Every structure is written in structure tokens, then in C-alpha cells.
Structure 1
Amino acid sequence: MSKGKGPLSKLYNVIINSVDVIVPQSMRPFWESPAGPKTVFFWGPLGKWLLVGTGLADVLQRPAQDISLNQSGTLAANGLIWSRYSLGIIPKNYGLHAVNKAVFITQAFLIIKNLS
């Protein structure tokens, strides 16, 4: 639950409270966990998977000369830094760790593809 008082916090709380009543008992431990869907620890990594999808689309469709080395290098470094951070915070966020490793691997592949 958000403790904010703004309109987006209120909307978020309405959505969470509405879904809360229909979550099955078997899913309760996941729903209530410190890194579950009620927290940013869940939604941040989920959104970051879009970067992995975009990188994979570049691998499959974009010619090597059209790949930005600066962008790929920055995203690869970002993946490495946040992979380390995700294991240093409490609660440990293995979802964030996995997505950042995937970002690093995808972007490193794009850099290698560009340099070949």
C-alpha cells in the first residue's frame, strides 16, 4: 500500500484493495511478500524486462552498424551495477537480479555484434 496522498497513490491503493479481495489463498504468501506485487520491488523488475525485450529485438532485426555502442555500453554497465545492488538490499530482490543480468547479457551481445 502506498502511504502517499497524491492522486496516483490513491489510484494505486484503490486498485490494490480491489484485487486484494480476489487473490486466492494459495497466492497469499506471494501477494503479501516483501517483494510481491504490492511493492515497487515487484513492478520495477517487471518493467525492466521491456529493456531485455527491446535488446532481443535489436539482436534479431537491427543491422550491426545501426546499434549504438554508447547506449549498449551504458545499459550493460547499468545491468552490472544493479545486479550487485539487488543482492545488497533488504529484501534481496532476485527478480531484479535476474532482469539486470539479462540486460547485461543482451547488451554485451549487442556490443560484440557491433564490434565484429
Structure 2
Amino acid sequence: MDRADNRRRHARGSTALAARIFPSGYSCQILDISPRGMRLRLETPMPMADSFIVVEWASGDAHDAQAVWTREGEVGVQVLRTCDLRDRAPLPFAEAKAAWLAERAANPEAA
């Protein structure tokens, strides 16, 4: 059987980016990423909605994502669209943007 790695249209680059999942604000880590997908590591198991927003916490890049698979504390997601929270963001990104901006305001040295 083909591995998911072999079926991808875009190569994924390994990383270790701090991220948060919304609407919950749950912390996770992006283990690898491409323009159309990513693999997340959850700090603790949590129920996953079919679709959610993933925010790269350092950069403010936010991804409208859909869960494709889950396995042993990891989630593979398809990225449906991306926006930069430093700019105008569509309504589905509003909660994530508000939380991201609030943390930036509270911790300006982290920005």
C-alpha cells in the first residue's frame, strides 16, 4: 500500500513550529508543512473537529485546515486556505486573530 508521503503533490519540510488550534486555542507543534498540508503533534489528546484553524504562533500565518488522519498524538491536515493575521482576515479567522493579537500586545518582546 502507498504511504501518504508518496501520494503528496507537494514536498513537506520538517520543522518544529509552535502553533495553536482554534476555536479552542489548544497548543500544538507543526512537525512538517507544505503549501497544502501539515502534520501536527498534540501536547495531549483532544477531540478534533473535522475543520479548524491552525495558527503558526510566531509568524501569525493562519491555516483553515481539515483533519485527514489521526494517529498516536499526531494529526495530518489538509490546508484549505491560508491568511496572514497581520493583515485583514476573513471572518472564520476572527477568534484566532483576536487571541494572537492579544498575546502580542501582552508580550511585545515576543513579537
Which structure dedicates a bigger proportion of its chain to strand? 2
What interval of TM-score do these two structures reach, taking the shorter chain for normalisation? under 0.3
Q: TM-score, normalised by structure 2?
A: 0.25
Bigger Rg, structure 1 or 2: 1
Greater RCO between the two (CA within 8 Å, min separation 6)?
A: 1
Which structure dedicates a bigger proportion of its chain to helix? 1
Q: TM-score, normalised by structure 1?
A: 0.24
